Chains A and B, each alone.
Chain A
Amino acid sequence: MSAALDLAGYRLVICLGPGGVGKTTFSAGLALEAAIGGRRVDVMTIDPAPRLIDALGLEGDAAEPRVVDLDGLRAEAGGQLRASRLDPKRTFDDLIARHAPSAAARDAILAGRIYQNLSNALAGVADYMAMERVLGLYREGAAELIVLDTPPAHEALDFLDAPRRMLELMGSRAVALLSASRSLMRTRFGVLDLAARAVLAAFDRLTGLHLLADVQAFVGGFDGMYEGFAVRAAAAEELLRDPATLIVLVTTAEQERVAQAQEFVGALSDRGLHLGAVAVNRLMDAVPDATAIARAKLPAVLKRKLRRNLANFTALKNRELIALEALRASLPPAVPIIAAAELKREPRSLKELAAFAGSFATHEGGDGSR
């Protein structure tokens, strides 16, 4: 087992990061390794690639955790891995069903045009639902450790702000304004609010959206559910700050991804959240020494090829080092960088996934030990 990331004492690991860096594979590797080490682990993935679905046995509807067969991996006694896939829409539906005051209210919300749009497309809904599912698993207490993969972020802040944004949306003055009856309007809202409502009504007619009635129905349906939501969202927020929660930022050493990762670092620090570690995926191996080429007894043509190849890879390795230096410079000094090797292909089996996780190592590049 690699000692790169010591997860002892942690109950939740959240893997954040830009899209396309191998976050899902990394999360699954981390969870598998902890399970092989003897812990009971749940991993929740978002949109895993087909090979990972095969490797983890997540075919079909895998919203509920499924036990992954660890036979042949020499897992220590007590080690168990359960994997699931997040279905944001379904989690949202469940949430509504749980908090709705009546069956009629539930059905009215679920069938509404506003809800259909909110649940599919609102930035942050998938993130909030990921947190909601984790909260469920956390409370259920079946696992000692939960590893959470997060949805690809449009913005660094989506995941971190999701609980609060949901609450703001539901508790906003705008919602109150839309749902208020005419008599209430006169007592609780000012002239500007009334004007805004009138303008919105005009916009509604102009665009042909005819939304106002839908919005009112939606908001009316949520009446009485706000409390339940607020409690859950507060608990989710608390979980982000729990000392037993480790936030890991996953990235690659490509310039563009590093720039995105730096935005995450800033977003975490703005919110007073603690960054536990940064994992750099797909790191190239170190380049070999050029003197070996000079010493070798080889035809000159082949030596030229070797030198050219070495120069090419060195240039790429330098590109990587420049990006890593920039990343290191933007991190608080105590945050460790974990390096994960570049894979020739996506893991096809648990064994390959375990080998990938075994490659995680503390990165000591350049003078990176500052």
Chain B
Amino acid sequence: MTAEASQKIKLPRVIFVTGKGGTGKSTVAAALALALARHGPVTLIDLDRRRSAIKAVSAIPDAARRVDHPVEMVALTAQGELEAFIERIVPLKMIARRMLQSPTFGFVTTALPGLEAFLILERIRIANEAAADRVIVVDAPATGGALELLKVPAGVQRLAPIGTLHRLAAEVEKFIQAAARFGVLLTTRAEELALREAIDASAALSALGVGCIAAVLNECETALFAEEDLAKLTGLDGHLRLAQARRHAADSAVQARRQLHHAGLHLLTLPMLYCPALTAAEFEVLANNLDEGLFAR
């Protein structure tokens, strides 16, 4: 990456974006991929079944992207990774296929739910090794699922005390614990439960030895009205209520910033976008904000 020296927040090569449902995780992952693509090659890996981040980036016309590098987009599924893994470790294709089709094998993988999750991390590790100059943005599952995913390498090592799988799991664990290679970005909103979840998640990450890059405080509102403005609005009930709501939202954003800062998190903020739908123009605004938050000019 060309702008290595001017990063305001140290970015690892793999940025794992997670957050509570409703905090704009996929939107942030998409905007981040667009922002980073202004500085170097980017791969967006989507782990969400609905492919929201990929859809968002794909919906933006090339002309509106203002990026020097096209964003490479990859959708990963657990089943696909499992199949690729079996084909890699079982030398004969015919045997590999038969194993995958056998109902017995289906049972074992059901009984070992971590196996598929682990293979997804392994795939991300390989992607990072294969192209170390690329930044990989991952649209990960929501916080709970994402933390489960990151616990899996340790779990697999316990399950498989020796052998191929044990060795791979140890490597994956080393990878997610290497601060220069892997880190988590937590999306949140100025709302009680979303903030708590982000702060709890950052504690859980440090217990796992995984780096937390920053919290992204999404949908921050500005006050617009001063306290004395509100006093003049008596009689304008509906508008007074809206003005109060606006001030309340802005206050919440200020408090949220303080709370996240107090929890020791780096902070990136994104504005509330007052629009009926997120289009290319809105993604540009979000990408600009992230760009400014991450890189010094």
Which residue of chain A has the shortest Cβ distance to B221 in the bound complex? A312
Residue A351, interface by CB 8 Å: no
Residue A302, interface by CB 8 Å: yes
User: How many angstroms from the CA of A238 to the CA of B20 in the assembled complex?
Assistant: 34
Q: Mask for A106-141, Cβ within 8 A of B = 1, else 0?
A: 000000011001100111000000000000000000
User: How many angstroms from the CA of A172 to the CA of B112 in the assembled complex?
Assistant: 16
From B38-46, B126-134, B229-237, B289-297, the one touching the partner chain is B229-237
A19 and B142 contacting across the interface, CB-CB below 8 Å: yes
A178 and B104 contacting across the interface, CB-CB below 8 Å: yes
B98 and A174 contacting across the interface, CB-CB below 8 Å: no
Interface residues of B in 76-131 (CB under 8 A from A): 86, 89-90, 95, 98-99, 102-108, 110-114
Q: Of B98, B112, B229, which one neighbours A199 at CB under 8 angstroms?
A: B98
From B1-9, B241-249, B256-264, the one touching the partner chain is B241-249
A207 and B145 contacting across the interface, CB-CB below 8 Å: no
A299 cross-chain contacts in B, Cβ below 8 A: 232
Shortest Cβ distance from A302 into chain B, in angstroms?
6
B277 cross-chain contacts in A, Cβ below 8 A: 255, 319, 322
The number of chain A residues touching the other chain, given as a range, is 35 or more
Main DSSP-derived SS at the A contact region: helix
B20 cross-chain contacts in A, Cβ below 8 A: 20
A173 cross-chain contacts in B, Cβ below 8 A: 103
Interface residues of A in 35-74 (CB under 8 A from B): 49-51
A169 and B110 contacting across the interface, CB-CB below 8 Å: yes
B238 and A287 contacting across the interface, CB-CB below 8 Å: yes
Residue B63, interface by CB 8 Å: no
A322 and B276 contacting across the interface, CB-CB below 8 Å: yes
Q: Of B113, B164, B166, B225, which one neighbours A309 at CB under 8 angstroms?
A: B225
B237 cross-chain contacts in A, Cβ below 8 A: 288
Shortest Cβ distance from B265 into chain A, in angstroms?
20
Residue B64, interface by CB 8 Å: no
Which residue of chain A has the shortest Cβ distance to B246 in the bound complex? A309
The number of chain B residues touching the other chain, given as a range, is 35 or more
Interface residues of A in 282-310 (CB under 8 A from B): 285, 287-289, 292-293, 296, 298-299, 302, 305-306, 308-310
A211 and B112 contacting across the interface, CB-CB below 8 Å: yes
B161 and A197 contacting across the interface, CB-CB below 8 Å: no
User: How many angstroms from the CA of A309 to the CA of B110 in the assembled complex?
Assistant: 52
Shortest Cβ distance from A111 into chain B, in angstroms?
15
Which residue of chain A has the shortest Cβ distance to B165 in the bound complex? A207
Residue A237, interface by CB 8 Å: no
User: How many angstroms from the CA of A292 to the CA of B163 in the assembled complex?
Assistant: 74
Leading 4 A-B pairs by shortest Cβ distance: A208-B163, A288-B238, A20-B21, A196-B102
Interface residues of A (CB under 8 A from B): 18-21, 49-51, 113-114, 117-118, 121-123, 152, 154-155, 169, 172-175, 177-178, 192-193, 195-197, 199-200, 202-203, 205-211, 215, 218, 252, 254-257, 259-260, 285, 287-289, 292-293, 296, 298-299, 302, 305-306, 308-313, 315-316, 318-319, 322, 344-346
